[in-house]
């Protein structure tokens, strides 16, 4: 992702409906887990890292690009600048790895999955979120540096062939999928923006409602997976 997009993301993530709900998804996923050592890959502004720390985890953010690492450091986070396909950690060093909206940026997503498995202890958890459905591919994906969008089958195949067991897979932004599909047809660049407060509140209301509806097996805009190293 270009430096301008990283800084744009960092400025938006504290108040933007999408990032707020993504933090909720992370908090829900780690609820009930015993805190230990965690790595937040592609941390950018560090919103997800802060969720981990707030829940008692000893969490480190990892960023590849100079801009992302600089933003995290400016926010007081002990950022590591490194390649997600060559993690600077010992074998079986971690209890949890989070990679929310990371794998789609990597040509070598298999290499990343292999590295994550290596640094997780047996029984460790890998939380993944990725953009779903190649049919939603648009100028937005190109602007933010996506290499691919995933289907349930391609994401599960990636994780399973690299030695992970799947605990759960769910769709996210199911209710907003028709609106996103319509918008992406005429998209000319990144969808990252700062919507008016009333629009932000309305969209937050929609994704909050989705938490309580039985729609997580339907097609959405993103996929969220909880996987485990055996």
Q: Which two tokens stand for residue 7?
A: 């800084």
The CATH number assigned to the domain holding 53 equals: 3.40.50.150
Measured distance CA(72)–CA(64) in Å, rounded: 11
- For residue 86, give its domain range: 3-228
pTM metric for this prediction: 0.93
Residue 3 confidence (pLDDT): 52
Residue 13 confidence (pLDDT): 80
Residue 165 φ then ψ, to 5°: -100, 140
Sign of the CA dihedral 46, 84, 168, 33? negative
Q: Please report which residue ranges of the chain form alpha helices under DSSP H.
A: 3-12, 17-30, 47-54, 66-74, 109-119, 139-143, 152-161, 177-185, 197-210
Residue 8 confidence (pLDDT): 67
Q: Which two tokens stand for residue 81?
A: 């600048």
Q: How many helices (H) and strands (E) does the chain have?
A: 9, 7
Residue 5 confidence (pLDDT): 61
Mean pLDDT per block of 10 residues along the chain (230 residues) reads: 61 86 97 97 90 96 85 84 95 98 96 98 98 94 92 98 98 96 81 86 97 97 98
Residues facing 63 on adjacent strands: 81
How many structural domains does the chain have?
Answer: 1
Residue 56 confidence (pLDDT): 97
Going by the DSSP 8-state scheme, the letter that residue 168 receives in this structure is E
């Amino acid at each position: 992702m270009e430096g301008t997009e990283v800084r744009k993301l960092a400025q938006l993530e504290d108040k933007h409906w999408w990032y707020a709900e993504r933090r909720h998804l992370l908090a829900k996923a780690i609820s009930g887990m015993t805190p230990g050592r965690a790595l937040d890959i592609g941390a950018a502004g560090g919103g997800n890292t802060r969720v981990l720390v707030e829940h008692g985890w000893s969490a480190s953010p990892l960023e590849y690009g100079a801009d992302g690492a600089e933003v995290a450091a400016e926010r007081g986070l002990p950022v590591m600048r490194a390649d997600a396909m060559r993690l600077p950690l010992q074998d079986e060093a971690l209890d949890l790895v989070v990679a929310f909206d990371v794998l789609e940026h990597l040509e070598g997503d298999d290499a990343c999955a292999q590295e994550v498995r290596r640094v997780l202890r047996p029984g460790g958890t890998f939380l993944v979120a990725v953009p779903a459905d190649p049919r939603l591919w648009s100028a937005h994906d190109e602007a933010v540096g996506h290499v691919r969008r995933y289907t349930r089958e391609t994401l599960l195949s990636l994780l399973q062939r690299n030695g992970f067991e799947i605990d759960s897979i769910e769709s996210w932004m199911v209710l907003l999928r028709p609106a996103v599909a319509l918008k992406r047809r005429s998209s000319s660049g990144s969808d990252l923006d700062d919507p008016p407060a009333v629009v932000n509140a309305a969209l937050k209301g929609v994704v909050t409602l989705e938490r309580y509806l039985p729609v997580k097996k339907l097609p959405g805009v993103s996929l969220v997976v909880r996987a485990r190293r055996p």
